[in-house]
Amino acid sequence: MHWPETISKRLGIKYPVIQAPMFGVSTVEMVAAATRADCLGSLAVADLSADESIFLIKETRKLTDKPFAVNIFAHEIPEITDALQDQFLRTRQFLEQLAKENNIDVKLPYLEDLKVSSYHELVDVVIEENCKILSFTFGNLDDQSIEKLKEKGVTLIGTCTSVNEALILEKSGIDIICVQGTEAGGHRGTFDPDHVPQIGGLSLLSQVSDHVKVPLIYAGGIYNGKTLQAAKELGAQGFQVGNILLASQESALEPFEKKRLKKVQENEIILTKSFSGRYARGLKNKFIELIEGSEYILPYPYQNKLTNGLRKAAKSKQNTDFVGIWVGQSIHHYSELSTEHILRNLILQTEGK
């Protein structure tokens, strides 16, 4: 296969293959390993604080001098109302009781204990740290942020899950659009956290390709050369992969989580808001079965912050029933080799070697 060159040249990489950000799974070591495969690594800082993000950027630069993207969550923060405060208290009480009943010892935070960061401070971090590629999800950046970043020569990669979202990103001047198919694991990049477009990824990619002129990256279901080539045929010029890296050497998943991953059945992979308050695709477990569709789901990021302690406590006990294991729809053998090796193998498959 002849690799498209538009995105490669724009991003300064040999192959237009992008390691998905996967906050909570990816590591600085994974980012560096992706760059060693001549691909684009993505450093997920999500909605971390400015100081935490700066630390991770500097740590990544210790491991690679090649280009990598910084990925942030461009979400809106819901206003704290009396109703939200009441729901938070009820949810906190319910989750602490649930944890106790399942032998998980955890003290969850109160609403006033939570540190909720706006993406605007991370835009300033990207500029201050002279990062040249910024990708984002959960919405669009505001016009002022886009202007500030473009003035500093930052290439912007926005995420869409519908044609309408793609058109919004293009109109805003976003340089590259990542089309996230419904097959993709982890959080949906949908602008509206309560709505999931009911369209398959390859159908979406083809339609977005017909409607926008900016280069497109496709994410969702790519796990071998054939799936990558299918995305290319439908208009993708870049290819984002995450699912194939979940069990890699550099993945932050613990051995017990990787073991569970390798036993996954297709009927266990579902969309849920239970852990974070936003739709994410992952493995069904006891927590999801109890919480999904209940009154104990706060809007993002409050649900995510509240359940964080429970997930960490469950992880320390190797309890797969109360951790979020995000996974896409393309089930495969989940290699535990290095990210570099996995990506190079994907490239060789795609080239028919």
Q: What is the 3-state secondary structure (H, E, C) of the chain?
A: CCCCCHHHHHHCCCCCEEECCCCCCCCHHHHHHHHHCCCEEEEEEECCCHHHHHHHHHHHHHHCCCCEEEEEECCCCCCCCHHHHHHHHHHHHHHHHHHHHCCCCCCCCCHHHCCCCCHHHHHHHHHHCCCCEEEEECCCCCHHHHHHHHHCCCEEEEEECCHHHHHHHHHCCCCEEEEECCCCCEECCCCCCCCCCCCCHHHHHHHHHHHCCCCEEEECCCCCHHHHHHHHHCCCCEEEECHHHCCCCCCCCCHHHHHHHCCCCHHHEEEECCCCCCCEEEECCHHHHHHCCCCCCCCCCHHHHHHHHHHHHHHHCCCHHHCCCECCCCCCCCCCCCHHHHHHHHHHHHCCC
Global model pTM greater than 0.95: yes
Q: Could you tell me where in the chain the CATH 3.20.20.70 domains are found?
A: 1-77+116-247+333-353
Q: Which amino acid is at 2?
A: H
pLDDT of residue 1: 81
Task: Specify the pLDDT at position 198.
Answer: 82
Q: What is the pLDDT of residue 197?
A: 85
Comparing C-alpha atoms, which of 311, 54, 281, 33 is closest to residue 180? Answer: 281
The pLDDT value given to residue 352: 86
245/55 Cα distance (integer angstroms): 23
What is the pairing mode between strands 155-160 and 133-137?
parallel
Are the beta carbons of 350 and 225 closer than 8 angstroms?
yes
Residue 238 near residue 324, CB atoms below 8 Å: no
- List the chain pLDDT tens, one digit each, 353 residues: 899 999 999 999 999 999 999 999 999 999 999 999 999 999 999 999 999 999 999 999 999 999 999 999 999 999 999 999 999 999 999 999 999 999 999 999 999 999 898 899 999 999 999 999 999 999 999 999 999 999 999 999 999 999 999 999 999 999 999 999 999 999 999 999 998 888 999 999 999 999 999 999 999 999 999 999 999 999 999 999 999 999 999 999 999 999 999 999 999 999 999 999 999 999 999 999 999 999 999 999 999 999 999 999 999 999 999 999 999 999 999 999 999 999 999 999 999 87
pLDDT at 338: 98
Any idea which residue has 């995450």 for tokens? 242
C-alpha span between 145 and 152 (Å, rounded): 11
Q: Cα separation of 49 and 56, whole Å?
A: 11
Would you identify the CATH topology of the domain 1-77+116-247+333-353? TIM Barrel (3.20.20)
Exposure string over 113-132, b if 16+ CB within 10 A, otherwise e: eeeebebeebbebbbeeebb
- pLDDT reported for residue 327: 97
